[in-house]
Chains A and B, each alone.
Chain A
Amino acid sequence: MAEPLVEIRNLAKHFPITKGIVRRRQVSEIRAVDGIDLTIHSGETLALVGESGCGKSTAGRLILGLLPPTDGAILHQGVDIAAMNPAQLRQMRSRFQMIFQDPFGSLNPRMTVRDLIAEPLKINGYGKAERLEKADALLEAVGLGSQHASRYPHEFSGGQRQRIGIARALALGPDLVVADEPVSALDVSVQAQVINLMQDLQQDLGLTYLFISHDLGIVHHIADRVAVMYLGRIVEVATKAALFASPAHPYTRALLDAIPVSRPDQRRPERALSGDLPDVASVVGGCRFAPRCPFATDRCRTEDPALRDLAAGHSVACHHAEALRADNSKPRI
């Protein structure tokens, strides 16, 4: 694989919970992202998956510098954006852009499509003629004609709006695009179109995607590598083939088992997880997944497993990964 575009080291984001009206004091904190290491290679699609509230969106925003991290380093081509002041960070922003989940809220309803797509260019000081020319070219590139340019967002369907959002994200010619659940708000029939568009654009422009999703079917379609998050930690990173064929972490297995199967006779035995996502603030020592893990031992409850290499390009944070992996004979999906 190519050289790393982004390297994340020990990245953490803790949101304080405060109490009191006159004297605010911190009573607790939510560890949305709690020390993750991740490398995104140039030109790949890395999927970041996990259930709601596991911190995947927060991680995406940290990587884009939209939230200040509590701890850790975010190296974009070797430059740490976590250490930058706001002015320096603004200079960097054109290199990494975002596709938003909500195609309705992410477009200012009072701006025309042309102004929306040209906005990143305007902010970065491009001249008017160049802005209009680029905006029309981008509209064309995402499959919308320039006849749509002077309309307003409410005149478009969800899929078309997401195309507008994609065009806007590409306006500055970024290397990295973080897509935060880009199709979860769309109809299934439209999802495929948008995903295919993203893949075509990746090929044409050499983009690198960080694809945040909870839909493993889509991840299986688009990703090169997959990172699985649970409660603010990355529990497993592997190539798509390795992860879907032989998941090493019990949480990954549970996720894969939860994918609905279209043919009833191929249904796997139920291995659904019991219990809810615990309060992150309450986790003390031991593996975060232990309270819900069917394989948890005493060691799991006392010793926090570090992310370690299981095979080349396959890392996992589980004490019993080898034993569990041997148990994985059936391929999935």
Chain B
Amino acid sequence: MKHSMFGKKLKMRLGGGIVIAVILMAIFAPLLAPHDPYDQDLMSRLIPPFWNAQGDWTYPLGTDNFGRDMLSRLIYGSRLSITVGVAAALLACTMGTILGMWAGYSGGYAETAIMRLADAQLAFPDILLAILIVAAVGGSALNLILVLGLSGWTVYARVMYNMTRSIRERPFVEAAVSHGARSAYIIRQHIFPQLIPVLTVVATLQVAQMILQETALSFLGLGLPPPTATWGNMLAEGRDRMWAAPWISNLSGVAIIILVWGINMLGNGLREHLDPNQRGRQ
């Protein structure tokens, strides 16, 4: 990654700053939002943002088709994106790590069963699986988390499987066996700690993927049903008025881009920071 635009420190600061800002925004949404995000006012619908000649500061980022304040909706929308993204990534991470370590450490039938299942799942698109399941069970925050989490475990499983396999052949693991260590001890003391740096990076980058997928599902109408404020829903609502009121789609799109970009930067910065081959380079 030595060709990257920024140094790893700048990446981590900038990415981390964006992520922290969005998280704070989500937590303090009721304090920050100038209006109720669900308060419809048909008299003031489709007001453009302040930089437009028709805009004014009552609604800094304008209003949507129902006269709801865009800024407030964006602020509240971050709550769902962050919650679903982080929770789904954690679920996928836990599942994938346990299964991957199990397959890599024990080998044999467990390895074959787990890794072939992962291959099978990777063979068709996650989003398709997610659409199928959400269409069947309906969209709710919990369902979204479960669907995205269950479809995302393969990434972790494959990474953790390969790392576990290589670590378990290292001499210090054999040394622990020769001292009489049990498998549980070896996994806890010698294998898992070596996985943490990689796990952190994969999990961080995965949060961005999860947020994009949640947005995509919402955009397709398979996320939380309207009028819930989510960035994907807002993107979808703005689609019908792309020419008359482009700010509705554009603003929610920009919000998604900034968050995902920030998370990816943080993840890349972390990866470079934790990669021993990159140490000392700046």
Q: Which residues of A contact B (CB under 8 A)?
A: 64, 66, 90-91, 93-94, 97-98, 100-102, 105-108, 110, 119-120, 123-124, 165, 168, 171-172
How long is the Cα–Cα vector from A106 to B178 in the complex, in angstroms? 12
Q: Are B182 and A90 in contact (CB under 8 A)?
A: yes
Number of B residues near A (Cβ < 8 Å) is 17
Q: Are A93 and B171 in contact (CB under 8 A)?
A: no
In the assembled complex, which residues on chain A have CB atoms less than 8 Å from the CB atom of B175?
98, 100, 106-107, 165, 168
Question: Looking at the complex, which one of B171, B182, B194 makes contact with A110 (CB distance below 8 Å)?
Answer: B194
In the assembled complex, which residues on chain A have CB atoms less than 8 Å from the CB atom of B2?
none
Q: Are A100 and B171 in contact (CB under 8 A)?
A: yes
Contact code string B179-201 (vs A, CB < 8 Å = 1, else 0)? 11110010001100110000000
Q: Are B179 and A108 in contact (CB under 8 A)?
A: no
Question: Looking at the complex, which one of A64, A107, A110 makes contact with B178 (CB distance below 8 Å)?
Answer: A64
17 A-B contact pairs sorted by A residue (CB < 8 Å): A64-B178, A66-B177, A90-B180, A94-B179, A97-B178, A98-B174, A98-B178, A101-B171, A105-B170, A106-B174, A107-B175, A110-B193, A120-B180, A123-B176, A123-B185, A124-B179, A171-B179
Q: Which residues of B contact A (CB under 8 A)?
A: 170-172, 174-182, 185, 189-190, 193-194
Q: Are A105 and B179 in contact (CB under 8 A)?
A: no
Q: Are A119 and B176 in contact (CB under 8 A)?
A: yes
Q: List 9 other contacts, CB 8 Å, given A93-B180, A108-B172.
A: A91-B180, A106-B174, A107-B175, A108-B189, A119-B189, A120-B179, A123-B176, A165-B175, A168-B175
Q: Are B180 and A123 in contact (CB under 8 A)?
A: yes
Within the complex, what minimum Cβ distance (angstroms) separates B61 from chain A? 48
In the assembled complex, which residues on chain A have CB atoms less than 8 Å from the CB atom of B193?
110
B276's nearest neighbour on chain A, judged by CB, is A109
How long is the Cα–Cα vector from A64 to B179 in the complex, in angstroms? 10
Q: Are B174 and A97 in contact (CB under 8 A)?
A: no
In the assembled complex, which residues on chain A have CB atoms less than 8 Å from the CB atom of B181?
123
Q: Are B179 and A97 in contact (CB under 8 A)?
A: yes
Of B176, B177, B178, B189, chain A has the most CB atoms within 10 Å of the CB of B178
How long is the Cα–Cα vector from A268 to B104 in the complex, in angstroms? 52
A180's nearest neighbour on chain B, judged by CB, is B171
Within the complex, what minimum Cβ distance (angstroms) separates A175 from chain B? 14
Question: Looking at the complex, which one of B174, B179, B189 makes contact with A93 (CB distance below 8 Å)?
Answer: B179
How long is the Cα–Cα vector from A97 to B181 in the complex, in angstroms? 13
B194's nearest neighbour on chain A, judged by CB, is A110
How long is the Cα–Cα vector from A91 to B176 in the complex, in angstroms? 14
In the assembled complex, which residues on chain A have CB atoms less than 8 Å from the CB atom of B194?
110
Q: Are A106 and B171 in contact (CB under 8 A)?
A: yes
How long is the Cα–Cα vector from A120 to B193 in the complex, in angstroms? 18
Within the complex, what minimum Cβ distance (angstroms) separates A183 from chain B? 16
In the assembled complex, which residues on chain A have CB atoms less than 8 Å from the CB atom of B171?
100-102, 105-106
In the assembled complex, which residues on chain B have CB atoms less than 8 Å from the CB atom of A90?
180, 182
Closest 8 CB pairs of A and B: A120-B179, A106-B171, A93-B180, A105-B171, A108-B172, A90-B180, A123-B181, A123-B179
In the assembled complex, which residues on chain A have CB atoms less than 8 Å from the CB atom of B179?
93-94, 97, 119-120, 123-124, 168, 171-172
Within the complex, what minimum Cβ distance (angstroms) separates B218 from chain A? 41
How long is the Cα–Cα vector from A107 to B171 in the complex, in angstroms? 8
User: Given contacts A100-B171, A106-B172, A168-B175, are A124 and B180 in contact (CB under 8 A)?
Assistant: yes
A171's nearest neighbour on chain B, judged by CB, is B179
Q: Are A105 and B172 in contact (CB under 8 A)?
A: yes
How long is the Cα–Cα vector from A26 to B22 in the complex, in angstroms? 58
How long is the Cα–Cα vector from A101 to B176 in the complex, in angstroms? 15
Question: Looking at the complex, which one of B172, B180, B189 makes contact with A107 (CB distance below 8 Å)?
Answer: B172
Within the complex, what minimum Cβ distance (angstroms) separates B124 from chain A? 21
In the assembled complex, which residues on chain B have CB atoms less than 8 Å from the CB atom of A120?
179-180
Within the complex, what minimum Cβ distance (angstroms) separates A105 from chain B? 4
Within the complex, what minimum Cβ distance (angstroms) separates A118 from chain B? 11
Q: Are A94 and B172 in contact (CB under 8 A)?
A: no
Of A105, A123, A172, chain B has the most CB atoms within 10 Å of the CB of A123
Question: Looking at the complex, which one of A94, A108, A124 makes contact with B190 (CB distance below 8 Å)?
Answer: A108
